[in-house]
Amino acid sequence: MATETIKVNSREFVVKKYSFPTEQIPRLDYQDKKAEKLIENGQPVILTGSDLVGSAHHWDIGYLCSNLGSGQYTVYSSADGKFKYYDDKKLTQNKQFKPPTTQTDMTFQEFAAKLKRKDNKELMYLQQPLNETVGTRIVMDFTNFNWGWANETQKKNHWGPMTSNLLLVGMEGVITPAHYDEQENLFAQIQGYKRFLLFDPSQFECMYPYPIYHPHDRQSQVDFDNPDLTKFPNFANLKGYEGVVGPRDVLYLPMYWWHQVESLHGHGETISITFWYKAAPTVKVVYPLTSGQKVAIMRNIEKMIAEALNNNESMPSFMQAMVQGRYT
């Protein structure tokens, strides 16, 4: 895999080199009017100075070990370092599906002990919603997040309720392959550095997501390291954005925007917290539709057809019959 060295804020990072061009994600002070405008317009921006999780800036593996309590945490392991999400509620309809990662529940202390081992054959990624099992100091840190700003941003942009804060603790080199989420996201980086590759929802045609009934729904089928341009020809037209988030940075990651996330080498484990919010209600349809709205329409139609046919095997021929020679 080819690599390249990029420079971010006088720091150098060695990153994987891909076939598609990227532009830089804007990086602005959180109080800059331009930043507020970007969020209002559903455009990504890396925000500095918000201290959204300022009360957690001292979180490191040792502190979390001492203060996260003895609750069980979900830890994924992957031989190739890629952690493609899969919906285990869809496994029953897809008997032949082989999960690309293994999932183990363990205490944070067990996870920390594994991080220290030198004979790990697989990369590990802890991903766990913060819940009431955490210790009192974590609760205090959580309470002291900059909720004033978060709530003001939520309100100003008419987002729905916050649904979860996912704690992410990854080994250097872990990769979350390209996917999109159906929620607005304020992504707070606490330790380590993560490279985000972002793609506008209008790039849907280049990303070839799995069918909606597949466990990898919302994930791209394309292997960025070795794209099959026969099967996925439009991937050759992909254009993206990229940026590196470090400690104290917050990335506004708009709903329906594709993203791949790479924990960079040389700066230790990455610790992040997501702030996911339900979408703002569509009060009035305004034309032209946004590319995110078009993805939502496609998803709803695909869902309705899958439910009506009640037979996933017949979806490909049905969908092709609908468009082949008529819209192609």
Ligand X SMILES: CC[C@@H](CC(=O)C(=O)O)C(=O)O
Q: Is residue 78 a contact residue for ligand X (CB under 6 A)?
A: no
Count of residues that interact with ligand X, criterion CB under 6 A:
10
| Residue selected from 18, 73, 187, 235 as contacting ligand X according to rule CB under 6 A | 187
| Residue selected from 32, 51, 110, 181 as contacting Zn ion according to rule CB under 5 A | 181
| Residue selected from 184, 274, 277, 295 as contacting ligand X according to rule CB under 6 A | 274
Shortest separation between residue 260's beta carbon and Zn ion, angstroms: 9
Instruction: Tell me the backbone φ, ψ of residue 214, rounded to 5 degrees.
Output: -80, 145
Q: Is residue 172 a contact residue for Zn ion (CB under 5 A)?
A: no
Smaller CB distance to Zn ion: residue 134 or 253?
A: 253
Count of H-run helices and E-run strands, the chain: 8, 17
Cα(54)–Cα(51) distance, rounded to whole angstroms? 4
Cα(160)–Cα(158) distance, rounded to whole angstroms? 6
| Residue 182 DSSP SS3 | coil
Shortest separation between residue 240's beta carbon and ligand X, angstroms: 15
Q: Is residue 221 a contact residue for ligand X (CB under 6 A)?
A: no
The distance in angstroms from the start CA to the end CA of the chain is 35
Q: Is residue 150 a contact residue for ligand X (CB under 6 A)?
A: no
| Residue selected from 51, 87, 110, 181 as contacting ligand X according to rule CB under 6 A | 181
Both tokens of 242, joined, read 């990229």
Selection from ligand X, Zn ion, none that 73 binds (CB < 5 to 8 A by kind) is none
Q: What share of the chain is helix, strand, coil (3-state, %, to 5)?
A: 30, 30, 40
Going from the C-alpha of 162 to that of each of 183, 193, 277, the distances in angstroms are: 9, 25, 4
Both tokens of 20, joined, read 């598609």
Smaller CB distance to ligand X: residue 44 or 69?
A: 44
The sign of the dihedral angle between the CA atoms of 243, 247, 249, 255 is positive
Task: Find tokens 């804007």 and name the residue.
Answer: 26
Shortest separation between residue 194's beta carbon and ligand X, angstroms: 6
Q: Is residue 165 a contact residue for ligand X (CB under 6 A)?
A: no
Both tokens of 51, joined, read 């201290």
Q: Which residues pair with 196 in a beta bridge?
A: 243, 261
Q: Is residue 101 a contact residue for ligand X (CB under 6 A)?
A: no
Smaller CB distance to Zn ion: residue 181 or 225?
A: 181
Q: Is residue 168 a contact residue for ligand X (CB under 6 A)?
A: yes
Shortest separation between residue 257's beta carbon and Zn ion, angstroms: 9
Residues that bind ligand X (CB under 6 A): 168, 176, 181, 185, 187, 194, 259, 261, 272, 274
